[in-house]
Structure 1
Amino acid sequence: MSDAATKLGLSRDTWEIAQAVRAVLADVMASHPLRVEPDETVRRTRLTELHAVLTEGSWAEVALGEFGLLTAVAEVAATVPATPAYPLVEMWLAHRVLDRLGRRDIAEPGRLVVADVTAPLEPDGDAGVPFGPFTDVVLRLEPRWDKDFDVLAVEASGAQWTLLDDTDATRPLHTPAPGAVTGLGVLRTEDALTIAAEFAVLEAAEMLGCADTLFRATVRHVSHREQFGKPLSANQVVRHRMADAYTQLESVRSLVRYAGWVADTDASRLGEFAFVAKGLAGEYCWDVLDEAFQLHGAIGCTAELGLQHPAARIMTRTMSPPTSADCLVRTGSAVLARGSIAALLEET
């Protein structure tokens, strides 16, 4: 088992499965270059094929494992080599919800089930459903009078969908119209809040993966692009800017891993650290995004280079409820309540 797995406290089985899922994603992205498909049939086919491969590779075992599961999935989300046109995070969360309800039968082999779990943290927000019309079942959490949550299953094939946001063309968001809904059960408030916090951590992890992709592309560019007879990286100011970006990336990586560790050891404390992770991920990853486009110059804005896909994913994840800015406000409130960040960490 690798040193990384040992540091993260992951079991051998969990680490191997997580790496297998990551390898599948890497292979798919390498063999099928990312492109936006205007043909819904083609996009549906690609989703179905990737889902079938992940299902065969024990993807559900990562979602339903006993230990280290959030950290493992966060590592996958943060290390994929490109922005996958696949609802990786929402699929994992759906398995988590169904496992809590004892309704794994809903996620039959070959069925693409995703979850929208933002309601516990942002009741008035509408994050939208990724690939709504192209999924089979969408799970939604609706607040109840007793503060618990009803879990509703929307049969996507029979629902009317409205495009909510296509800023990220590789992950279009839709919202369903009422109808074709089945109640699956009640999720306790504590469980709903934990799953929603896990979502925030995984959003931070995905932003990290996208920012890392942009950072590596920028390193390659400044190392090979020459001006006045020397590469851009020969200029000290460029090196300083890249060093700052790297520091920000590693800061986010530490926060995501720490939040994952908290989730796997003391889930009752996850909310606060999930807010820290998503809040600073939104701020730092956006800074890395800015540097990437600044240092690439005009070529960075061309579709051929492909920087727009990870950039759009960072933007949409940052703005999904609760936004990264809201997470920072909640983090500040938690710190003020305890007097210092050190006091917050000492309680963990």
Structure 2
Amino acid sequence: MEKLKKQLPIITPIFIAIVIIHSLFVDYTVQFPDYIAAETSESAMESMKPKVISENGVLNRISYLESFLVELESRELPVDTEQEETKDNIKRVLVGQKLLLGLSLFYLLLTFSTAVSYAFRVWFHKSLAHVFYPVSFLVLAPKVFFQLNLMLQKEVLSYFYFVFLVFTYVITIISYRLILKNKELAEGFQSLQFSSSLEEEGRSPSNTKTGSIFAPVFHVAIIILIGILIGNLIYIPLFLLQKHYVTEFSYFIFFLLGLLSLFYIFNYKKVGGEPNSNNWKNLAVSFAYLQFRFLRNSFWAVFSTILIVLFVTFLFSLLLFNIDLIQNHLGLFGKATEF
């Protein structure tokens, strides 16, 4: 029993990953009646009830929208058919579906990172668990609701999937409780905590001695020259690429992000990998650490943005309050207009 408790937080992400993969191909939505019937018969009342229906997942929706957009652009339609507005609406929906696909894939990779970090007792495994399991509760709950409604609609396959979802939800709760109650100190891959220091990333400390007065001028000139070259050789071509080739540019950006992620993964492996562990273990932990860093930086970015927005809103509110106070009670603006 104790062995099962230790293995359960490793097994649970596998079940959640199966649910995520299934949702990429099959999705569920609530269909409301198109009209309200005036009849009071049993069949009319039954047709007025909202129903849960299965539909294509995000992958199939993206494929359908892309093919429909290509077909729409290939046809020659009259000018007054508002073709451009229709294409813009489809493109916006397509962008939203691609963002949903990106979030789903990131969540799918998070299942791997959570299981790996717990299995190897990495020091940040609880931080990943605090993100992964609450999100899983929110993701699984509506799916259980949909399957329950499909069972009421006499869908045979929904019975099996409902049992699977309930089982997954229960072991998710148990796994999260086990992680929270586990007081064992996780000290695996401690060197990754210092991966951002200069010495561990292979960079030597900068030389602080003062030189000639022409050195700063030379550095500024080099920076300006590099900026001009980057602007003309990189920024302007990228701008034209994303303007005229939106799909190709998005694939190019994802390719660059993949290369950057690989660079960081191998860098973390070199910096924080344990010499007694094999390469695959070090690579898996490095990937989990990259996702942990991404989540942590995203949290601080969102938190900082919210604080800045609240602070600016407070300043403007205070400014408007002062203007209203001066205008209504002191009458300075009214006296100024008399001159």
Report the TM range for the smaller structure's normalisation: under 0.3
Whichever structure has more helix as a proportion of its residues is 2
**TM-score, normalisation: structure 2:** 0.28
Per the normalisation by structure 1, the TM-score is 0.27
Tell me which protein shows more strand as a share of its residues.
1
